[in-house]
Amino acid sequence: MFHCHKKMATKDKLFELLSSNADEFISGQIIADELKLSRNSIWKGITALKKDGYIIESKPHIGYRLAGESNLLSKEIIIKDLRVPCTVEVHDTVTSTNDMAKKKAMSHKPIVLIANRQSNGRGRLGRSFESPGGTGLYLTIALKPGFSLEKSLYVTMAAAVSVCRAIEKVCDRNPQINGKNPQIKWVNDIFIENKKVCGILTEAQTNFETGQIDSLIIGIGVNCFPGNLPNELKEIAGSISEKTGSFSRNRLASEIINETLKSLDRIEDKSFLTEYKSRCFILGHKIKVHPQYDKSGIPAKALDIAEDGGLIVEYIDGTKKGETETLHTGEISIRLTR
């Protein structure tokens, strides 16, 4: 059964109902019964959605269907499903949601910036992050936390677990894409079926006098549907679903916000760490550790995740053969050996 918010506009109620039944026609009678609307109100709502740019197919005696390419981001739909207090902004195109967040005045109430497209998306170690419109979800959560800089690695790990949970929740509601098993490549990448579908970039603005973080900025970029990626990325990058419009980006945004803010609220107890380890698919595998500016890499085996979030490795070749070391974010990149 569909449940709508009493204060939602008619067009938003219609959008939510149509988007939750992707690729299916819904009869006017069912819409009228579900939403307690007259046929005239439905027609006006459909007209308003079309003016907003949504593509809605209509067939006499069959009903209405929201086309897959209509999966537009909607602030009203996103905030309807939120279970945590925060301020939400939705934009079509920005340079970078993280850069935009840095210009915001921080308070203890989180700010969430969401974009359909980024013209200058960034990943770890200064790399660019491809952010095409219509196929991804680019989201930054910015807040004023109550913990020190030493906990910043936990933030990325907690966010990674949260994104995995959000993806599973959204996919499990949809028979077309259920059964997905998102896994984590230490420290900040989410993979499905051996392809990267999400990257997380955590940044902080700190107060050197107090050692506290003034603002914490968590950027999350998700490949929802197949997009126009450069050829060099097609081998390693994937998407949650191969079928455009098969799930709601709005619902995914809501779930990511809910799960991430809930995890951050409990970050001190490190409750996410056990799940992080179970999802971290590189543990027990041979990898290559790449210190910055070293493209050849050092062969090693990923052993475990340390209590502080570092990756414990044992070197299996080179001058460090037989030695174990705990690696931390910012020092290395990791590649599974084929």
pLDDT tens per residue across all 338 residues of the chain: 344 444 578 988 898 888 777 668 999 999 999 999 999 999 999 998 887 767 788 999 999 998 765 578 989 889 988 999 999 999 999 999 999 999 987 777 999 999 999 987 776 656 777 677 888 999 999 999 877 777 778 999 999 999 999 999 999 887 778 889 999 999 999 999 999 999 999 998 887 787 778 899 999 999 999 887 777 777 889 999 988 777 889 999 999 999 999 999 999 889 999 999 999 999 999 999 988 767 788 999 999 999 999 999 999 998 899 999 999 876 676 777 65
Which CATH number is 75-279 given?
3.30.930.10
Domain map (residue ranges) of the chain: 10-66, 75-279, 285-336
Q: What fold characterizes domain 10-66?
A: Arc Repressor Mutant, subunit A (1.10.10)
DSSP letters spanning 155-188: HHHHHHHHHHHHHHHHHHT-TTTTT---EEETTT
Task: Report how far residue 233's alpha carbon sits from residue 134's, in angstroms, rounded to the nearest whole number.
Answer: 18
Closest listed residue to residue 85, CA positions, set 111, 105, 115, 114: 111
User: What is the pTM for the complete model shown?
Assistant: 0.82
Residues 6 or more apart in contact with residue 209 via CB below 8 angstroms: none
For Cα atoms 258, 259, 264, give the angle at the middle one, nearest 5 degrees: 105
The pLDDT of residue 304 is: 98
The pLDDT of residue 129 is: 74
Task: Report how far residue 205's alpha carbon sits from residue 203's, in angstroms, rounded to the nearest whole number.
Answer: 7
The pLDDT of residue 184 is: 98
The pLDDT of residue 331 is: 65
Does domain 285-336 bear CATH number 2.30.30? yes
The pLDDT of residue 6 is: 43
